[in-house]
Chain A
């Protein structure tokens, strides 16, 4: 017996978003050490190679991980539950029943706005049970949040 993959894929633009994040994450220290190397002659012999290695690693990660993540990340909302699959090395399947959902939020970071993406966060009464669906098309995310809010609003009880 095993868990079947959730039906929904993320938006294709999520790959670009993740790539941009990798490049920004590694780009800042690469740039800093390259500039420092240019300014400080004596430290150049190790600053520039370090920058080079970091840049290569960043490019490699940006090329490799987003595709992998995109293949693995899935989501699904049924009438009864929210079901999400995330991760790469450590994979995770999260399931929260609709009747126990307390809040539904959508968040759009600056980079997500550039890629017209949004993150839907679904929380339950558990301090550790929050479910995040990252990298959804922003219109789809808004529609999904509205749908979830409607369904959970119609469910009685305090969801604990």
Chain B
């Protein structure tokens, strides 16, 4: 417990800026993972417990692609495309076999795959921590705002996250594909009866969710150390985000992710031992007060 540090920080603009920025980058990475999770749940009614593994694989794909080409763009592309394709294959071959409410089987299939992915990563990339290093393009002097230091890469991450959030929101509400996806989440049988290939749609949504998680992994690679099992902690956090924001809501995922990011950074200052506990506490409060989450409709 160290509430004094928290108060001192609130009194200093430099500290506030630094903390809020790092809260936002945690929030943006969480958002990219959580929004895929919430999208997949909204349409397929399946909670993808392997979603953290996609994040992990994205980070490792980026690591390898960056090592081979030296280009950060190529690294991000490898992360996104690799996990996106994996998502499509995973949905078509495995997850599609356990649709229809049997939660036990869904959990088991995902549990099996988490074990396999974690071990494959250990076999291919080794058990030790890896780090990708900051790309040269971002080796810039940090921005100074009100005395607080903001590294250029952090700014890039935040912009990326916000752009993707805006794009997703627009895409789902305005485009034909977005409308089809929303329709399928309400009544898949009717959508299918109207001549739309729902199987293909499901694979696309799952692949896209995997792509976002992989992209998050790729974006996280320069600022996080890579290890097998890194996916599970972000999975739990993105669950908390979706519970807080409400399953199926993109705005909820964004707000929930940023809230969790801020709780994490300020919690580390004030309650270093209980940072994780604060997130769960917050989740429990939301669950008791509004079981469907802050922006959730009654689908729970």
Do these two chains really belong together in a complex? no
- A residues lining the B interface (CB < 8 Å): none
